[in-house]
Structure 1
Amino acid sequence: MKPIISKDSIVYFGEECYSALNTYLEKANHSKIFILVDSNTHEFCLSRLMGEIKGSYDIEVIEIEPGEIHKNIETCSGVWNVLSELGADRKSLMINLGGGVVTDLGGFVACTYKRGINYINIPTSLLAMVDASVGGKTGVDLGNLKNMVGVISESEMVLVDTTYLGSLPANQMRSGFAEMLKHGLIQDKDYWNQISDLSKLDLTHLEKMIYDSVVIKNNIVFEDPTEQNIRKYLNFGHTLGHAIESYYLTHPERETLLHGEAIAIGMIMEAYISSELLSLTKEGLESISKVILHTFPKVTIPSEDHQPIMDLLVHDKKNEQGNIYFVLLNTLGEAKYNCVVDDQLILKSFEYYDSF
């Protein structure tokens, strides 16, 4: 597949990934290479990567604990200290081998260590392949608040090798699929129609589906790299989705939600709001709800949790001058950003989701 070129990075696919990586490593002359993994990618993915690297390099592996709960400044501090102890300098390279937590956190660590070292993302989850590793957003959570500390700075390259998906459990695959559905809803009705019925999809075509999803995101990011306008479209489902995810992260008595699972809920709720405020038809709302609920199991959100989740909306990164802004849908494939929604309508969106 043809590489996808962004402003400052290139996304490679399939076997071309490693020829591009080896060419880069040979020319770059980095002093040291650090590969950041979590315990899962250390076990299931590292050996493949190491087997594909040609040449003799000074390589160190740094392992962190898996999961969103560890995507914080404390983990960053640990990695920064290890880099310092192992003699990392400004000519060092960080390769982030993992899902969204590893690529988000590893990118942030690289961008801030000695005011910035080069990094490469090798996403190993579907979510990271279509979303977290593309577009240069790096960062970590602040307590239960998602991605509150970070920078936008693109990697040297992104390598999308779907071989790594073989070790993923079904819920992790579904989590990534939520972002692919989102890309169709905000920008490309044909893509939404193509992927919305999983029963008709041949997973041998998964790489092409990922490729098309990355193209959609890259086209948006290329036009608006710092999220001043249309890059906000990518936040559809995330205003409420992130609040739900954050709330559940700090309430262990509630069901644990993966990022995509929370975003799936957010997309249904924000589609409902779209049908009330904008021109999204009832048929469009029903289509979105049916597709998402066919793929993602219904989650019970007790009524006593509605207001505490809404209270978290004030921390959303899209907010400006005290206003809580949503991304909503005019129709399938067409979004609108900077939409203000009143609390009563947000509460009704909880009731809509709970009605299924």
Structure 2
Amino acid sequence: MNSILAKDCEIHFNIKAYEVLKTHLAEKNYSKVVVIVDENTHQSCLPLFLSRVESDIVFDIIEIEAGEMSKTIDTCTSVWEALSDLGFDRKSLIINLGGGVVTDLGGFVACTFKRGINYINIPTSLLAMVDASVGGKTGVDLGVIKNQIGVIATGEMVIIDTEFLATLPQNHLRSGLAEMLKHGLIADRKYWDTLSDLSQLHIEDLEQLIYESVIIKNNIVNSDPNEDGVRKYLNFGHTLGHAIESYFLDYDAKEELLHGEAVAIGMILESYLSYKLLDLSKEDLATIKTNIQNLYGKISIDEDDYEHIIELLKFDKKNSHGVINFVLLEAIGKPKYDCQAENALIIEAFEYYKA
């Protein structure tokens, strides 16, 4: 699999990637190297990584708690203090080995420690492989509000090793698939159609689909690195999806949703808005809803929840001058950014989701 040239870094795949990494480590001669893991990747992924690198370098290890609740400034402070205690300097390297929480937080720690040190992302979840690790977005949550603090800064490289996927439970694989479905909906109808019929896919097909998904995201990011325009397309399903994810995270009566599970709901809701406000056909709307709900089922969202979720929309990063902006679909593969919808129509979308 050929490497993909991203902005200021390259994305490498499988065994070839480790040869590139070993050459990079030798050439850079870093003063120290740390691997940031969470408690799950420490046990399930770190041994495989170390066996693949086969280096004489002594890797320091910093472990954080697994899960979205650890994606905070408090966790960053703990990691910054650990780096200081270990004697890290501006010529040191951070390797982020984990899912989106580890790559987002670890990248932010690297970008801010001593005003910036090098980092490398090695995503271990499907979600991180096709989304969080590509594009240079780093950051943490502010309370339960997603990704409010951060910077855009690319790492030295990204290594995607699909063997790590064997460590994932099924619900985490489905969570990552949501971002791949999104890539099809915003960029490539043929890709969407391929992913929509998973009964015809085999596990060996997944590697090529991941590769195509990374290309879709990378092409968009390269054309708009700072999200001034078309990079906003990547937020389809996320305006409502993030609000739903935050709401379910904050309310004890609700069971926490994985990111992809919330985005799956958001894609149905925002497809309904697309049908009402743009030119998305009724047939495509029905297909999107059916295919997504066949994969993810239907999450219980009560009428009493609507107002709380809509209130959280004001924190979305695409908003400007107090206006809530959505990415909607004129057709599958044809998105439009900076769209607005009245609250009454958003409530109508929730009713459609439940129907």
Do the structures match in fold with TM over 0.5?
Answer: yes
Would you say 1:242 and 2:242 are equivalent positions?
yes
Q: Distance in 1 between matches of 2:144 and 2:316?
A: 12
Q: Show structure 1 runs of 4+ deviating over 3 A.
A: none
Q: Deviations over 1:85-129 (max 9, x none)?
A: 000100000000000000000000000000000000000000000
Q: Structure 2 counterpart of 1:273, which letter?
A: L
Shift of 1:354: 1.2
Distance 2:294 2:199 in 1: 10
Partner Cα separation in structure 1 for residue 221 and residue 107 of structure 2 = 17
Please report how far the alpha carbon of residue 58 of structure 1 lies from its aligned counterpart in structure 2 after TM superposition. 3.2
Q: 1-side partners of 2:40 and 2:101: how far apart?
A: 12
Matches within 5 A, 1:22-171: 22-171=22-171
Aligned equivalents of 2:196, 2:158: Cα separation in 1: 26
- Native 8 Å contact 1:278 1:329 kept in 2: yes
Once residues 25 and 262 of structure 1 are traced to their aligned partners in structure 2, the CA distance between those partners, rounded to angstroms, is: 38
Amino acid of the residue matched to residue 232 of structure 2? K
SS at match of 1:140: strand
Distance in 2, matches of 1:108 and 1:150, equals: 6
Question: Which deviations, in whole Å up to 9, do the C-alpha atoms of 1:305-328 show, x marking residues without a partner?
Answer: 100110000111000011000000
User: Which residue of structure 1 lines up, in the alignment, with residue 228 of structure 2?
Assistant: 228
Kept in 2: contact 1:31–1:58 (CA 8 A): no
- The answer to whether the 8 Å contact 1:36/1:96 transfers is yes
Of stretches 235-244 and 187-196 in structure 1, the one that deviates more from structure 2 is 187-196
Aligned to 1:209: 209
The unaligned stretches of length 5 or more in structure 1 are none
Q: Give the structure 2 partner of residue 352 of structure 1.
A: 352
TM-score by length of 2: 0.99
- Counterparts of 2:272 and 2:6, CA distance in 1: 33
Q: With structure 1 as the length reference, what TM-score do the two structures score?
A: 0.99
Aligned to 2:19: 19
Taking the aligned partners of 1:42 and 1:51, their CA distance within structure 2 comes to 14
Q: Does 1:291 align with 2:291?
A: yes
Consecutive unaligned residues of structure 2, counting only runs of 5 or more, are none
How far did 1:59 drift? 1.6
- Counting matched residue pairs gives 355
C-alpha distance in 2, partners of 1:91/1:56?
Answer: 18
**SS of 1:322 mapped into structure 2:** coil
Give the fraction of aligned pairs with identical amino acids, expressed as a percent.
Answer: 57
Residues of 2 paired with 1:348 and 1:271: CA distance?
Answer: 12
* Residue aligned with 1:150, SS: strand
What secondary structure is seen at the aligned counterpart in 2 of 1:90? coil
TM-superposition CA deviations, 1:172-194 (whole Å, max 9, x none): 00000000000000011111111
2:199 aligns with 199
Aligned partners of 2:257 and 2:155: how far apart in 1?
28
Amino acid at match of 2:131: D
Q: CA RMSD in A?
A: 0.6
SS of the equivalent of 1:127 reads helix
- State the distance in 2 between where 1:205 and 1:288 align: 22
Alpha-carbon deviation of 1:142? Answer: 0.1
Letter in 2 for 1:216: I
Q: Following TM superposition, by how much is the alpha carbon of 1:167 offset from its aligned partner in structure 2, in angstroms? A: 1.0
The residue type equivalent to 1:240 in the other structure is L
Quote how far apart the aligned CAs of 1:252 are.
2.1
Superposed displacement of residue 44, structure 1? 0.4
For residues 53-77 of structure 1, the C-alpha deviation after alignment (integer angstroms, 9 at most, x for no partner) is 2332232000000000110000000
